[in-house]
Amino acid sequence: MCKRLSALCLLVLLLCPTGVSAQATAELPAQAAEALRAALFQAQFQITSDQAGALAQVEQAATTYRAAWSAPLGQSVPGAHARIEQGFVAATSAVQAQDAPALAVARARVWTALLDGAQQLVLQAVAAGDTATAQRWLAVREFRHATRFSRPNADGSIALVHLRDGTLTIDETLTALRADLLDTYQARLTEALHDLATADEQSFAARLAEQAALSQGYFTILLPAYEEQRGQAAGATASVAFAALTAATQTGQPPEAALAQVTAALDGFRAAPLSPQEQRRRAGQLLRFLSLVPVEYSRGIRNGVVAADLEIREAITFRSGAEAAFRDLENLLTARDPAQTATASTLLGQLDQYLTAASQHSEVADPATVEAASDQLLATLQAVMPTEWLQGDRSADFDVIAAALDQMEDAARAGEYELAESARLEAYAILESGPEAKLAAFAPQRVTPIEDLFWYGQGEPQGLAYLIGQKADDGVIAVSRKALSEQLAEAQRLVSGNVAPGAIMSNAALIVFREGLEAVLILASLLASLRVGERRHLRRPLWVGLAWPCSPLY
């Protein structure tokens, strides 16, 4: 009995503390981080008006950190822990000296070291298979700054959910988390550098220093990825450039020179590698956009002069889109063939020169020349790209459709309805030549609304072909375009699944079987109802009726 009781107690002891501690600490890291950040902000706000109050805020921030974070960070991420403690010392000194830029730098160092520590704790917990701990620490993170038009992604959170459910492996989860966090902090680094320039223009000294220190802190988080791609020496050089930028802003020196070095160090760097799907998508965009450049250009030139500026602008838009996609893939392409990639880059620049000159009416290249340059570029890229990129990605089609519809709206807004119609047709042609077949197979109910909105639908809102034909107000066209975009977004979601041919066949076979079975059951019930004597004579016509559609005469 006693042994049983002891075993039971042991079991309770083993189980309960885990649950209780998880519950008790579940809210701690994120809340403590917010409290710490808010206290340091208050210190910054009070530094000149209430020095004692500012010192108390720094002390409070340090106390909050030591209570909630010091132990786990000190044990598992000592580098980040040391940077945070140094930051508190620097913050105290800055308040004592009433040096607002120095306090701004200290705040940024504490905060970014905290983010670095949290992300490393998350990755360590995932590697150990401890999803609950990872979820708790993942709450201490930043997001890309959301706007009315962009949303923070949730890839990391979803990956953890899938790890917990067993639908992702630890390695897959780590990859998703790294991609999400690295992408976020690179975006924040870019924003910090942008805001730094704005603060410099406005002569906001503390904000200038804070943004420089934030960018330095974000770069520290990205440094392992940077060194992995460019080597430790390059990493050290870049780190020095960031440190110089912070020092310049803190001491009131012009930041331009240091900023130029930082910008050069970051040129072409992408911390979060593109997923294979994103690589295919970018490749699809690159090839599609490039193929449209000579088409638009030739429409804009008549007898050696620019006859339609809008077409030239469209060509420029497509080239710019192609360049953006190329830059995203450049590192990967260079790794495969540096010489060919350099050639592609040069050819892209050459196309830019042709188009820019035409847009300025300074020099008009022959459309055949532009086409030849585009063809050479396409051939070069296709030679370098891996086979899987060339197999096409339907999502790139949707990007091009969106770009063409943008041009349609621009043209309608300018009152150029013929051009608007041309752009509409171009968008429709891409839909018809690509995704529509897949859409018809997997979501046929989506086809009609899209067709109606592209053409002459008379529902609400009306079709674009009809509206353009009527020279409708651009606001009305915009409403239809918006509705079409929503339908297309849903269509893209529906056709984006990677479906094996076998699955398509089995789906089709199952549908045929199901419909056939329904027919058999209906027939059986009809025949059963004709078993009664006086109705038996009606069975023959029924069999004849059944046989007729199956006969060669049908």
Residues that bind another protein (CB under 8 A): 26-27, 30-31, 34, 37-38, 41, 44-45, 139, 141-143, 145-149, 151-154, 157-158, 161, 202, 204, 206-207, 409, 413, 442-443, 445, 474-475, 478, 489, 493-499, 503, 506-507, 510-511, 513-514, 517-518
Nearest distance from residue 176's CB to another protein, in Å?
12
CB 95 within 8 A of CB 43: yes
Structure tokens at 255: 């930041």
Beta carbon nearer to another protein, 191 or 371: 191
Question: Between residues 143 and 269, which has the closer beta carbon with respect to another protein?
Answer: 143
- State the minimum distance, in angstroms, from the CB of residue 184 to another protein: 9
Of 211, 232, 210, 212, residue with least CA distance to 223: 232
Q: How far apart are CA 157 and CA 133, in angstroms?
A: 13
Task: Fill in the DSSP letter of residue 535.
Answer: G
Considering the complex, state which of residue 204 and residue 466 has its C-beta at the smaller distance from another protein.
Answer: 204
Residue 45's CB is within 10 A of a number of other CB atoms, namely 14
CB of 134 to another protein, least distance (A): 13
Question: Which amino acid would we find at residue 357?
Answer: A
Q: How far is the CB of 423 from another protein (least distance, A)?
A: 15
**Which residue's CB is nearer to another protein, number 31 or number 369?**
31
User: In terms of CB distance, is 161 or 247 closer to another protein?
Assistant: 161
Least Å distance, CB 494 to another protein, is: 5
Q: Please say which residue, 187 or 400, places its beta carbon nearer to another protein.
A: 187
Smallest gap from Cβ 76 to another protein, in A, equals 22
Q: Which is nearer to another protein, 499 or 546 (CB)?
A: 499
Give the whole-angstrom CA distance, residue 370 versus residue 311: 14
Across the strands, what pairs with 301?
306
In the bound state with another protein, the residue whose beta carbon lies nearer, of 193 and 347, is 193
Structure tokens at 279: 């690589």
- Closest approach of another protein to the CB of residue 347, in Å: 33
3-state SS record for 419-481? HHHHHHHHHHHHHHHCHHHHHHHHCHHHHHHHHHHHCCCCCCCCCHHHHHHCCCCHHHHHHHH
Report CA torsion sign: 466, 469, 472, 475: positive
Backbone angles phi, psi at 301, to 5 degrees: -110, 130
Tokens representing 451 are 């067709």
In this structure, which amino acid lies at residue 456?
Y
- Asked if residue 250 lies in contact with residue 216, where contact means CB atoms within 8 angstroms, the answer is no
CA distance 25 to 125: 15
430/483 with CB nearer another protein: 483
Residue 458 structure tokens: 């008379």
What does the chain come to in residues? 554
Name the minimum Å distance from CB 509 to another protein: 9
What minimum distance in Å lies between the beta carbon of 148 and another protein?
Answer: 5
Query: Closest distance between another protein and the C-beta of residue 539, in Å?
Result: 21
Report the C-alpha dihedral over residues 167, 170, 175, 178, rounded to 10 degrees. 120
Is 154 in contact with 184 (CB distance < 8 Å)?
Answer: no
Distances (CA, A) of 504 to 141, 411, 508: 42, 40, 6
Cα–Cα distances (Å) from 265 to 40, 144, 254, 307, 495, in that order, read: 31, 22, 19, 43, 40
Query: Roughly how many angstroms between the first and final C-alpha of the chain, as a whole number?
Result: 85
Q: Which residue, 323 or 409, has its beta carbon nearer to another protein? A: 409
Q: Smallest gap, in angstroms, from Cβ of residue 511 to another protein?
A: 6
Nearer to another protein, 23 or 551 (CB): 23
